[in-house]
Amino acid sequence: MDLRTLGNSGTIVSAFALGTMTFGAEADEATSHAILERYLDAGGTFIDTADVYSSGVSESIIGRWLARNDGRRDQIVIATKGRFPMGEGSNDVGLSRTHLRKALDDSLRRLGVDHIDLYQLHAWDALTPLDETLRFLDDAVTAGKIGYYGFSNYLGWQLTKAVAVADGYGFAPPVTLQPQYSLLVRGIEHEIVPAALDAGIGLLPWSPLAGGWLSGKYRRDQAPTGATRLGEDPKRGMEAFDARNADPRTWEVIDAVQAVSEETGASMSQVALAWLVDRPAVTSVILGARTIEQLDDNLAAADLELSDEQVARLDEVSEPRTEVYPYGPQAVAQRHRKYEGGR
Protein backbone atom coordinates (compact mmCIF):
# COMPACT_ATOMS: atom_id res chain seq x y z
CA MET A 1 0.00 0.00 0.00
CA ASP A 2 1.32 3.46 -0.88
CA LEU A 3 2.51 5.66 1.97
CA ARG A 4 2.07 9.43 2.14
CA THR A 5 2.71 12.28 4.56
CA LEU A 6 -0.20 13.22 6.79
CA GLY A 7 -1.05 16.54 5.19
CA ASN A 8 1.72 19.07 5.75
CA SER A 9 3.22 17.09 8.64
CA GLY A 10 6.17 14.71 8.65
CA THR A 11 4.13 11.73 9.85
CA ILE A 12 3.64 8.92 7.33
CA VAL A 13 0.31 7.12 6.80
CA SER A 14 -1.08 4.61 4.32
CA ALA A 15 -3.03 5.88 1.31
CA PHE A 16 -6.11 4.02 2.55
CA ALA A 17 -7.30 4.55 6.11
CA LEU A 18 -9.62 2.29 8.07
CA GLY A 19 -12.83 4.04 9.10
CA THR A 20 -14.49 2.53 12.13
CA MET A 21 -17.98 4.03 12.17
CA THR A 22 -19.32 0.49 11.72
CA PHE A 23 -17.65 -0.75 14.91
CA GLY A 24 -20.26 -1.47 17.58
CA ALA A 25 -23.12 -0.75 15.20
CA GLU A 26 -22.89 -2.71 11.94
CA ALA A 27 -19.95 -4.87 13.09
CA ASP A 28 -19.78 -6.55 16.49
CA GLU A 29 -16.59 -6.54 18.55
CA ALA A 30 -15.20 -9.82 17.22
CA THR A 31 -15.78 -8.75 13.62
CA SER A 32 -14.34 -5.31 14.32
CA HIS A 33 -11.16 -6.82 15.75
CA ALA A 34 -10.87 -9.13 12.76
CA ILE A 35 -11.24 -6.13 10.42
CA LEU A 36 -8.48 -4.32 12.31
CA GLU A 37 -6.17 -7.32 12.00
CA ARG A 38 -6.82 -7.77 8.28
CA TYR A 39 -6.30 -4.07 7.56
CA LEU A 40 -2.97 -3.94 9.40
CA ASP A 41 -1.78 -7.20 7.84
CA ALA A 42 -2.46 -5.64 4.41
CA GLY A 43 -0.08 -2.78 5.19
CA GLY A 44 -2.57 -0.22 6.51
CA THR A 45 -1.32 2.13 9.21
CA PHE A 46 -4.07 4.75 9.70
CA ILE A 47 -7.18 4.19 11.84
CA ASP A 48 -9.96 6.78 11.98
CA THR A 49 -12.73 6.90 14.58
CA ALA A 50 -14.81 9.46 16.53
CA ASP A 51 -16.30 9.77 20.00
CA VAL A 52 -19.81 9.91 18.54
CA TYR A 53 -19.47 6.60 16.66
CA SER A 54 -21.84 4.28 18.52
CA SER A 55 -21.68 6.75 21.43
CA GLY A 56 -18.09 5.91 22.28
CA VAL A 57 -18.31 2.16 21.62
CA SER A 58 -16.14 2.35 18.48
CA GLU A 59 -13.29 3.95 20.44
CA SER A 60 -13.70 1.40 23.25
CA ILE A 61 -13.54 -1.52 20.81
CA ILE A 62 -10.31 -0.14 19.36
CA GLY A 63 -8.99 0.46 22.88
CA ARG A 64 -9.61 -3.15 23.92
CA TRP A 65 -7.88 -4.38 20.76
CA LEU A 66 -4.89 -2.13 21.50
CA ALA A 67 -4.71 -3.44 25.08
CA ARG A 68 -4.35 -6.99 23.73
CA ASN A 69 -1.90 -5.93 21.02
CA ASP A 70 0.28 -3.43 22.84
CA GLY A 71 3.24 -3.94 20.52
CA ARG A 72 1.28 -2.65 17.52
CA ARG A 73 0.43 0.79 18.94
CA ASP A 74 3.61 2.35 17.56
CA GLN A 75 2.88 0.88 14.11
CA ILE A 76 -0.34 2.80 13.62
CA VAL A 77 -1.56 6.39 13.47
CA ILE A 78 -4.81 6.90 15.39
CA ALA A 79 -7.26 9.66 14.53
CA THR A 80 -10.45 10.53 16.36
CA LYS A 81 -12.89 13.44 16.48
CA GLY A 82 -14.89 15.55 18.88
CA ARG A 83 -17.68 18.10 18.55
CA PHE A 84 -21.07 16.35 18.44
CA PRO A 85 -23.29 15.66 21.50
CA MET A 86 -21.99 13.11 23.98
CA GLY A 87 -24.49 13.86 26.71
CA GLU A 88 -27.56 15.90 27.61
CA GLY A 89 -25.78 18.85 29.20
CA SER A 90 -25.44 22.26 27.56
CA ASN A 91 -21.66 21.84 27.43
CA ASP A 92 -21.71 18.28 26.12
CA VAL A 93 -21.47 19.52 22.53
CA GLY A 94 -19.51 22.03 20.47
CA LEU A 95 -15.95 23.29 20.16
CA SER A 96 -15.64 25.23 23.40
CA ARG A 97 -12.66 24.63 25.65
CA THR A 98 -15.08 23.19 28.22
CA HIS A 99 -16.47 20.52 25.92
CA LEU A 100 -13.26 19.69 24.06
CA ARG A 101 -11.30 19.17 27.27
CA LYS A 102 -13.75 16.53 28.44
CA ALA A 103 -14.22 15.05 24.96
CA LEU A 104 -10.47 14.62 24.44
CA ASP A 105 -9.89 13.12 27.89
CA ASP A 106 -12.80 10.70 27.38
CA SER A 107 -11.42 9.64 23.97
CA LEU A 108 -7.99 9.03 25.49
CA ARG A 109 -9.57 6.91 28.21
CA ARG A 110 -11.72 4.85 25.86
CA LEU A 111 -8.82 4.26 23.47
CA GLY A 112 -6.48 3.47 26.38
CA VAL A 113 -3.66 5.63 25.01
CA ASP A 114 -1.66 8.55 26.37
CA HIS A 115 -1.90 10.59 23.18
CA ILE A 116 -3.94 10.75 19.96
CA ASP A 117 -1.96 11.22 16.77
CA LEU A 118 -4.60 13.27 14.93
CA TYR A 119 -7.47 14.99 16.75
CA GLN A 120 -10.17 16.34 14.43
CA LEU A 121 -12.98 18.82 14.92
CA HIS A 122 -16.00 16.98 13.55
CA ALA A 123 -17.76 20.13 12.26
CA TRP A 124 -17.75 23.93 12.54
CA ASP A 125 -19.19 25.59 15.66
CA ALA A 126 -20.56 29.07 15.01
CA LEU A 127 -21.11 29.74 18.74
CA THR A 128 -17.52 29.29 19.90
CA PRO A 129 -14.85 31.90 19.05
CA LEU A 130 -12.40 30.30 16.65
CA ASP A 131 -9.37 31.46 18.62
CA GLU A 132 -10.73 29.69 21.73
CA THR A 133 -10.94 26.40 19.87
CA LEU A 134 -7.54 26.75 18.22
CA ARG A 135 -5.87 27.78 21.48
CA PHE A 136 -7.22 24.63 23.12
CA LEU A 137 -5.81 22.50 20.29
CA ASP A 138 -2.45 24.25 20.51
CA ASP A 139 -2.40 23.64 24.26
CA ALA A 140 -3.23 19.97 23.66
CA VAL A 141 -0.32 19.68 21.24
CA THR A 142 2.02 21.34 23.76
CA ALA A 143 0.77 19.04 26.53
CA GLY A 144 1.45 15.99 24.38
CA LYS A 145 -2.17 14.84 24.39
CA ILE A 146 -2.39 15.12 20.60
CA GLY A 147 0.25 15.11 17.89
CA TYR A 148 -1.65 17.08 15.24
CA TYR A 149 -5.12 18.40 14.63
CA GLY A 150 -7.43 18.73 11.67
CA PHE A 151 -11.01 19.44 10.70
CA SER A 152 -13.98 17.63 9.21
CA ASN A 153 -16.89 18.96 7.15
CA TYR A 154 -15.50 22.53 7.00
CA LEU A 155 -16.30 24.87 4.14
CA GLY A 156 -13.51 26.51 2.15
CA TRP A 157 -13.74 29.86 3.92
CA GLN A 158 -13.84 28.16 7.33
CA LEU A 159 -10.68 26.21 6.54
CA THR A 160 -8.87 29.28 5.22
CA LYS A 161 -9.90 31.37 8.23
CA ALA A 162 -8.76 28.71 10.68
CA VAL A 163 -5.38 28.44 8.97
CA ALA A 164 -4.96 32.23 9.07
CA VAL A 165 -6.00 32.56 12.72
CA ALA A 166 -3.65 29.76 13.79
CA ASP A 167 -0.80 31.41 11.92
CA GLY A 168 -1.61 34.84 13.34
CA TYR A 169 -1.51 33.60 16.94
CA GLY A 170 1.50 31.38 16.37
CA PHE A 171 -0.50 28.23 17.14
CA ALA A 172 0.36 24.81 15.73
CA PRO A 173 -1.19 24.64 12.25
CA PRO A 174 -3.93 22.23 11.12
CA VAL A 175 -2.75 19.41 8.87
CA THR A 176 -5.87 17.71 7.49
CA LEU A 177 -9.50 18.12 6.46
CA GLN A 178 -11.98 15.25 6.30
CA PRO A 179 -14.76 15.97 3.75
CA GLN A 180 -17.29 13.84 1.93
CA TYR A 181 -15.79 13.18 -1.51
CA SER A 182 -16.47 10.65 -4.27
CA LEU A 183 -17.36 10.35 -7.94
CA LEU A 184 -20.92 11.22 -6.93
CA VAL A 185 -19.99 14.06 -4.55
CA ARG A 186 -17.46 16.43 -6.14
CA GLY A 187 -18.81 19.80 -5.01
CA ILE A 188 -15.79 20.31 -2.75
CA GLU A 189 -13.69 20.89 -5.86
CA HIS A 190 -15.15 24.39 -6.25
CA GLU A 191 -13.58 25.92 -3.14
CA ILE A 192 -12.60 23.35 -0.50
CA VAL A 193 -9.97 21.54 -2.58
CA PRO A 194 -8.34 24.84 -3.70
CA ALA A 195 -8.32 26.04 -0.08
CA ALA A 196 -6.67 22.79 1.03
CA LEU A 197 -4.05 22.98 -1.72
CA ASP A 198 -3.33 26.62 -0.85
CA ALA A 199 -2.71 25.73 2.80
CA GLY A 200 -0.93 22.41 2.23
CA ILE A 201 -3.79 20.60 3.97
CA GLY A 202 -4.25 16.87 3.27
CA LEU A 203 -7.74 15.59 2.46
CA LEU A 204 -9.13 12.45 4.12
CA PRO A 205 -12.27 11.68 2.08
CA TRP A 206 -15.14 9.94 3.85
CA SER A 207 -17.92 7.98 2.12
CA PRO A 208 -15.73 7.35 -0.94
CA LEU A 209 -18.33 4.92 -2.31
CA ALA A 210 -21.22 7.33 -1.65
CA GLY A 211 -22.83 5.04 0.89
CA GLY A 212 -22.53 2.01 -1.37
CA TRP A 213 -23.91 3.58 -4.54
CA LEU A 214 -20.58 3.25 -6.35
CA SER A 215 -20.23 -0.42 -5.40
CA GLY A 216 -22.95 -1.38 -7.88
CA LYS A 217 -25.28 -2.87 -5.30
CA TYR A 218 -28.31 -0.73 -6.23
CA ARG A 219 -30.50 -0.88 -9.35
CA ARG A 220 -32.68 1.62 -11.17
CA ASP A 221 -36.28 1.78 -9.94
CA GLN A 222 -35.70 -1.07 -7.51
CA ALA A 223 -35.78 -0.09 -3.86
CA PRO A 224 -32.85 -1.62 -1.93
CA THR A 225 -33.55 -4.48 0.45
CA GLY A 226 -31.59 -6.86 2.62
CA ALA A 227 -28.40 -6.41 4.61
CA THR A 228 -27.19 -3.16 3.07
CA ARG A 229 -27.22 0.31 4.57
CA LEU A 230 -30.00 1.51 2.30
CA GLY A 231 -31.77 -1.84 2.46
CA GLU A 232 -32.07 -1.31 6.20
CA ASP A 233 -32.77 2.44 5.91
CA PRO A 234 -33.68 3.63 2.37
CA LYS A 235 -34.00 7.24 3.56
CA ARG A 236 -30.53 7.31 5.14
CA GLY A 237 -29.32 10.93 5.12
CA MET A 238 -27.42 12.22 2.07
CA GLU A 239 -27.22 8.68 0.70
CA ALA A 240 -31.01 8.17 0.54
CA PHE A 241 -32.29 5.97 -2.27
CA ASP A 242 -35.22 8.20 -3.30
CA ALA A 243 -33.09 11.28 -3.92
CA ARG A 244 -30.30 9.48 -5.75
CA ASN A 245 -32.64 7.28 -7.74
CA ALA A 246 -34.46 10.35 -9.06
CA ASP A 247 -31.25 11.87 -10.41
CA PRO A 248 -30.37 10.41 -13.83
CA ARG A 249 -26.80 11.65 -13.47
CA THR A 250 -26.26 9.19 -10.64
CA TRP A 251 -26.83 6.35 -13.07
CA GLU A 252 -24.61 7.92 -15.73
CA VAL A 253 -21.72 7.88 -13.25
CA ILE A 254 -22.53 4.35 -12.08
CA ASP A 255 -22.69 3.13 -15.68
CA ALA A 256 -19.26 4.65 -16.37
CA VAL A 257 -17.78 3.02 -13.28
CA GLN A 258 -19.28 -0.32 -14.32
CA ALA A 259 -17.79 0.01 -17.81
CA VAL A 260 -14.29 0.63 -16.40
CA SER A 261 -14.84 -2.25 -13.99
CA GLU A 262 -15.53 -4.59 -16.88
CA GLU A 263 -12.49 -3.33 -18.78
CA THR A 264 -10.10 -3.81 -15.87
CA GLY A 265 -11.59 -6.87 -14.23
CA ALA A 266 -11.67 -4.94 -10.97
CA SER A 267 -14.81 -4.42 -8.88
CA MET A 268 -16.76 -1.19 -9.16
CA SER A 269 -15.71 -0.28 -5.63
CA GLN A 270 -12.05 -0.68 -6.55
CA VAL A 271 -12.48 1.55 -9.62
CA ALA A 272 -14.15 4.32 -7.60
CA LEU A 273 -11.48 4.15 -4.88
CA ALA A 274 -8.60 4.08 -7.36
CA TRP A 275 -9.97 7.22 -9.01
CA LEU A 276 -10.33 9.05 -5.70
CA VAL A 277 -7.00 8.18 -4.09
CA ASP A 278 -5.11 10.03 -6.83
CA ARG A 279 -7.13 13.26 -6.71
CA PRO A 280 -5.26 16.49 -5.87
CA ALA A 281 -4.64 17.08 -2.13
CA VAL A 282 -5.86 13.60 -1.09
CA THR A 283 -3.69 12.09 1.63
CA SER A 284 -5.68 8.98 2.60
CA VAL A 285 -9.09 7.63 1.59
CA ILE A 286 -11.21 6.33 4.48
CA LEU A 287 -12.56 2.81 3.94
CA GLY A 288 -15.64 1.74 5.86
CA ALA A 289 -16.45 -1.97 6.07
CA ARG A 290 -18.89 -4.08 8.02
CA THR A 291 -17.34 -7.40 6.92
CA ILE A 292 -13.92 -8.84 6.10
CA GLU A 293 -15.11 -9.47 2.55
CA GLN A 294 -15.95 -5.80 2.00
CA LEU A 295 -12.59 -4.76 3.40
CA ASP A 296 -10.68 -7.20 1.20
CA ASP A 297 -12.45 -5.92 -1.89
CA ASN A 298 -11.75 -2.31 -1.02
CA LEU A 299 -8.10 -2.90 -0.14
CA ALA A 300 -7.50 -4.41 -3.59
CA ALA A 301 -7.92 -0.88 -4.99
CA ALA A 302 -4.35 -0.24 -3.82
CA ASP A 303 -3.13 -2.44 -6.68
CA LEU A 304 -5.37 -0.96 -9.39
CA GLU A 305 -3.93 1.63 -11.76
CA LEU A 306 -6.44 3.26 -14.10
CA SER A 307 -5.36 4.40 -17.55
CA ASP A 308 -5.32 8.10 -18.40
CA GLU A 309 -8.27 7.51 -20.74
CA GLN A 310 -10.29 5.77 -18.04
CA VAL A 311 -9.59 8.55 -15.54
CA ALA A 312 -10.59 11.18 -18.13
CA ARG A 313 -13.83 9.32 -18.83
CA LEU A 314 -14.72 9.17 -15.14
CA ASP A 315 -13.73 12.83 -14.71
CA GLU A 316 -16.01 13.92 -17.53
CA VAL A 317 -19.13 12.00 -16.55
CA SER A 318 -18.88 13.06 -12.88
CA GLU A 319 -17.72 16.65 -13.33
CA PRO A 320 -19.60 19.08 -11.05
CA ARG A 321 -22.20 20.82 -13.21
CA THR A 322 -22.77 24.10 -11.48
CA GLU A 323 -23.62 26.48 -14.30
CA VAL A 324 -24.70 29.49 -12.26
CA TYR A 325 -22.69 32.29 -10.67
CA PRO A 326 -20.23 32.17 -9.01
CA TYR A 327 -19.20 28.78 -10.45
CA GLY A 328 -20.33 28.83 -14.09
CA PRO A 329 -17.89 29.13 -17.03
CA GLN A 330 -18.20 32.92 -17.27
CA ALA A 331 -17.57 33.36 -13.54
CA VAL A 332 -14.56 31.05 -13.69
CA ALA A 333 -13.17 33.09 -16.58
CA GLN A 334 -13.44 36.23 -14.43
CA ARG A 335 -11.07 34.72 -11.87
CA HIS A 336 -8.32 33.91 -14.37
CA ARG A 337 -6.37 35.72 -17.08
CA LYS A 338 -3.71 34.81 -19.57
CA TYR A 339 -0.47 36.70 -20.10
CA GLU A 340 -0.49 37.36 -23.82
CA GLY A 341 3.17 38.18 -24.40
CA GLY A 342 5.87 40.75 -23.92
CA ARG A 343 8.55 40.71 -21.29
DSSP-based three-state secondary structure for 173: coil
- One-letter-per-residue 3-state SS of 258-302: HHHHHHHCCCHHHHHHHHHHCCCCECCEEEECCCHHHHHHHHHHH
Catalytic site includes residue 53: yes
Distance of CA 141 to the CA centre of its chain: 22
Using N-to-C axis directions, what is the helix angle for 292-299 and 268-277, rounded to 10°? Answer: 50
In which element (H, E) is residue 103 found? helix 97-111
Torsion angle (degrees, nearest 10) of CA 79, 28, 32, 23: -20
Spatial distance between the Cα atoms of 336 and 219, rounded to a whole number of angstroms: 42
Strand order from edge to edge, sheet including 285-288: 202-203, 176-178, 146-152, 116-121, 77-82, 46-48, 16-19, 285-288
Q: Of the listed 53, 119, 148, 181, which one is catalytic? A: 53
Q: Which residues are catalytic?
A: 53
